[in-house]
Chains A and B, each alone.
Chain A
């Protein structure tokens, strides 16, 4: 167990190092940020000075070495635009995004799992067919369009929920959250639903496929032969078996929820790191882009590790030891 975790940590470090190289060079060979940052009145000398101040006049490998040295100390550079530490900027915006992604994930499980189970256990019923048809829509409709329709319906048309922004936040154990007030929930409802829609459809499909398969297994028939109630068979025997693929996929999807909530955050003016990324890209704010990608890489690596651990808790046949091949 411990050996497994150490080994995985070493692999994670390697992945992060490789990503550092790829991202730094990938971002730094595109365009010249200096021309985005100067004002038109500046003369050549002022431009050169600005470049020197930002370290942009040195050869790229030298820039990389400086970047590496700072990265090792947790410093991924200063934002060209904000003048602040890039990593701080992102971490400052991260709680908002995490909150949104978390609510979306909970929605995906709370809505998707029962619907998928139902559709899997009663595949012939009308309601099941309807659920499956809607899940196809959930997969196919583009996020930005659904987001606009949600605003149009619930904010503009019915006036039930606010269209943009985040509710008032309170700090708990150093984490800013807006989920403790009704107003906060009103604000998070629409963007979270928008973000969750695809994941709900995904969970429905996974749960349905799993339940259909599990319902035919001998252990379900044997459980019935023991005289167990229907609710115990579905809630324990079937559910625990289908949770294995769902946990795996949702774990990875949580990463993508955080990393790619860009569209949703933009439409609902949610002050998260997705919007920060979009601003950074349009202004070629390289340190912020690099820092953003690195944060996402670390996030994915961590989630992968956690998924492996949860997986072994769900399925006792998975042993977290090194393969002796």
Chain B
């Protein structure tokens, strides 16, 4: 079967006064039906912009300048606002990072859910309300009938995120983009929400693009992983091989800086330097200035994707752990 989502050569640039910011600069990936793809990267790596590009939520001065986004075989790039509106919520939904901000504070939960139903399905108010109530029940909100009449501020952060998830699930979209949906929650709630998302998506066959900077979350949740750096995917593959034997020095550095990797009491390892400005990327590899294994050709030429067995790929001239992959 064709993949749910196929992104190829996507370039989303922001034309600011300070210059062109190449937030997403040639990103290609695909998501199979029912699959969970972890899109990992630090702040400013372009992972959220990639998600918003799929939703058609890039506002000026930003623009998709190149590439293709195919959702269930349908090309999204170049759709007008009404075309995107029909897709959003029905064929692809999105859950945001901060549940305190995503629900409108002055509208009741039922208003915000019913309008989401009737945006795509011409059903009666009553039917839409019943569907909303069932959706709330499904994400584990107690006494959903009463909670429909509540305002967002009467919910806790975790409960609000459940409401957002319920809204995303209303039309049973084949794909949901999750933009760090557990980052703003505390750890116990985080694991509950993760478990529930996993269960719900397994039931409905929904595919997820899980955007996060938390490798721990990805390890437990995702089937495949794509690591982004400076607007490009630098490494991709199934989760376990990538996390066990990272090929890219950046992936290796990220893993090395996890607290679990260090000696108790010893300072955490970190990747030196900081992300380059996306308005002025260097000529060669974007990671060269921070890489421990940098060589002369890294500075001269940006690397292309090198494929590896097991559907892995890495954007590096001198990948690490080659022995581990060959074996």
Contact = CB atoms under 8 A, between A and B. Distances in A.
A217 interface: yes
Contacts of A232: 115, 119
B103 A227 contact: no
Interface string B77-95: 0000100011111100110
Given A227-B88, A316-B153, A317-B153, A221 B96 contact: yes
A222 interface: yes
Contacts of B101: 217-219
A316 B106 contact: yes
Given A218-B96, A218-B98, A222-B96, A227 B119 contact: yes
Contacts of A227: 85-90, 116, 119-120
Contact of A241 (B57, B103, B106): B106
Nearest to A223: B104
Interface string A164-202: 000000000000000000000000000000000000000
A236 B111 CA distance: 10
B84 to A, nearest CB: 9
B94 A228 contact: no
B102 interface: yes
Contacts of A316: 105-106, 108, 151, 153
Interface string A201-227: 000000000000000011101111111
Contacts of A315: 105-106
A230 interface: yes
A324 interface: no
A222 B107 contact: no
B206 to A, nearest CB: 15
B107 A317 contact: no
Contacts of B103: 219, 222
Nearest to A219: B104
Interface in B108-147: 108, 112, 115-116, 119-120
Contacts of A229: 85, 119
Interface string B166-192: 010000000000000000000000000
B164 interface: yes
Interface in A130-174: none
Contact of A228 (B106, B115, B151, B164): B115
Contact of A219 (B85, B89, B94, B105): B105
9 contacts: A222-B164, A224-B57, A224-B88, A225-B88, A226-B119, A229-B85, A236-B107, A240-B107, A244-B106
A93 interface: no
B36 interface: no
A223 B119 CA distance: 10
B166 to A, nearest CB: 12
Interface string A26-45: 00000000000000000000
B131 to A, nearest CB: 14
A21 interface: no
Counting chain B residues whose Cβ lies within 8 A of the other chain, the interface size class is: 20 to 34
Nearest to A227: B89
A225 B173 CA distance: 12
A226 B115 contact: yes
A318 B185 CA distance: 25
Contacts of B87: 227
A222 B102 contact: yes
B55 interface: yes
Pick from B57, B96, B103, B115 the residue with the most CB of A within 10 Å: B115
A246 to B, nearest CB: 13
A266 to B, nearest CB: 42
Given A218-B102, A219-B104, A232-B115, A226 B88 contact: yes
A219 B103 CA distance: 5
Pick from B98, B108, B116, B164 the residue with the most CB of A within 10 Å: B116
Contacts of B120: 227
A237 interface: yes
Contact of A317 (B96, B105, B116, B119): B105
A218 B99 CA distance: 9
Q: Which A-B residue pairs are the 6 nearest by beta carbons?
A: A227-B89, A218-B101, A227-B88, A316-B151, A222-B102, A226-B116
Interface in A212-271: 217-219, 221-230, 232, 236-237, 240-241, 244
A48 B86 CA distance: 87
A218 B181 CA distance: 13
Contact of A237 (B85, B107, B119): B107
A315 B151 CA distance: 10
Contacts of A223: 104, 112
Interface string A63-83: 000000000000000000000
A17 interface: no
Contacts of A314: 106
Contacts of A222: 94, 96, 102-103, 164
Contact of B93 (A219, A225, A241): A225
B182 to A, nearest CB: 16
Interface in B283-298: none
A199 B87 CA distance: 42
